[in-house]
Amino acid sequence: MRVLLVDDEVELVSTLAERLSIRGIDADWVTNAEDALRSAEIQTYDLALLDVKIPKISGLELKKILQVKCPGMKLIFLTGHGSDEDYKAGTAEAGTAYYLVKPVNIEVLIKKMSEVLKG
């Protein structure tokens, strides 16, 4: 499994990538949408973990672009802002039910990633 992590919190995203790598999951990380799009052009990812609030292009907007450019890529949102109800309303509008609230438990994340990939 190859995963792209997109979060503007460098310490969080680099640590998460390292923790996934320890568990045998190939994880690349970037801190903005522009780098995420460049990475997706040169590498095929099975799944992307997107922070909702990243600079310039939001995670919700990035999702829409990635769905066009990489139609087979699965997506999970991560959020550290707002209530669960606010977030559910926003992601329902974006067309996804897959999200986790930060800080994320690594075992819960891996389980959700497997569920999403199985479809």
Q: Is the dihedral of CA 73, 77, 19, 32 positive or negative?
A: positive
- Helix axis angle for 10-22 and 106-118, nearest 10°, is 70
pLDDT of 45 over the 60 cut? yes
Residue 67 CA to residue 86 CA, distance in Å, equals 23
| Nearest by Cα to 79 from 50, 105, 108, 47 | 50
pLDDT at 90: 58
- For residues 103-115, average pLDDT: 92
Of the chain, the percentage scoring pLDDT greater than 90 comes to 69
Q: Please state the domain count of the chain.
A: 1
- For residues 53-79, average pLDDT: 91
Q: What CATH code is carried by the domain that includes residue 100? A: 3.40.50.2300
Q: Which domain holds residue 9?
A: 2-118
